[in-house]
Amino acid sequence: MLVEIFPDYETLSERAYELVATLIRRKPNCVLGFATGSTPLGLYRRLVEGYRRGELDFSKVVTFNLDEYVGLPPSHPQSYHHFMWENLFQHININPSNVHLPNGMVDDIEAHCDWYEEQIRRVGDIDLQILGIGPNGHLAFNEPGSSLGSRTRIKTLSRATRRANARFFGSEEAVPRHAITMGIGTIMEARRLLLLASGRAKARAVRAMLEGPISAMVPATIVQLHRYAHVLLDKEAASELAYNHHDGISEPFDVH
């Protein structure tokens, strides 16, 4: 696992852009796995800027998103479908038929999850999966206690996750109780992982992920086992790591 620590969020986002842009230029038909939330927004903003400068062509890129709330239509302002189109897809030249997002409104969720897995297999798996980490160590919506070999499925959201997301919905009660999520086993089949974490609120989860034992109670610890996992942290997210330079900034280092 390669870990890089940066002085701030903007520097972290610039490095993430450099890595993703390099893949798109080298493999124009690459398969990218996208995440939602505030952490990847700096990356997505830079991808849009790169496209507008003529540096990137998304016309052959294929994408898969990690998760979606059950019961929210794509038009809902808090749906992840809306998030991705609002913050990235509508601003670049991606082919809509190459965009894959779980549908939280389907009648048969199990069949939909099987279909989603088949679509990933059909394109030859994900080249680079972008990830965040929850304050409780969840990966996508794989909450603590999730099977480390799980596939795409419906999950009940923990109280901690619903509380953390309440700011987007106005109240905890308004947050959906279930979500469709790519499974941990599915995520681990991506050829490369790029995990981003920013802010002191993520520091304990980052410490557990990088320095703790692998455990289903901290699903993100599974990235320790991936052959090509690349973790980008800002100084605050790295603040509780035992392995750290005195000023909080380091050159890339392998922790496993």
Catalytic residue among 65, 136, 142, 165: 136
Sign of CA pseudo-dihedral 137, 141, 146, 151: negative
User: Rounded to the nearest 5 degrees, what angle is found at the Cα of 162, between the Cα atoms of 236 and 31?
Assistant: 70
Catalytic residue among 4, 65, 67, 100: 67
Active site residue 114: no
Active site residue 136: yes
d(CA 161, CA 177): 10
d(CA 224, CA 81): 29
Catalytic residue among 68, 117, 127, 143: 143
In this structure, are residues 103 and 112 in contact, taking their beta carbons and an 8 Å threshold? yes
**Residue 189 has what DSSP assignment?**
T
d(CA 111, CA 198): 35
d(CA 89, CA 160): 30
Give DSSP secondary structure letters for 211-228: HSPPBTTBGGGGGGG-TT
| Beta pairing class for 31-34 and 250-254 | unpaired
Catalytic residue among 81, 100, 112, 138: 138
- What region does 45 belong to: left with phi over 0, alpha with psi -120 to 50, or beta? alpha
Active site residue 138: yes
Supply the residues annotated as catalytic.
Answer: 67, 136, 138, 143
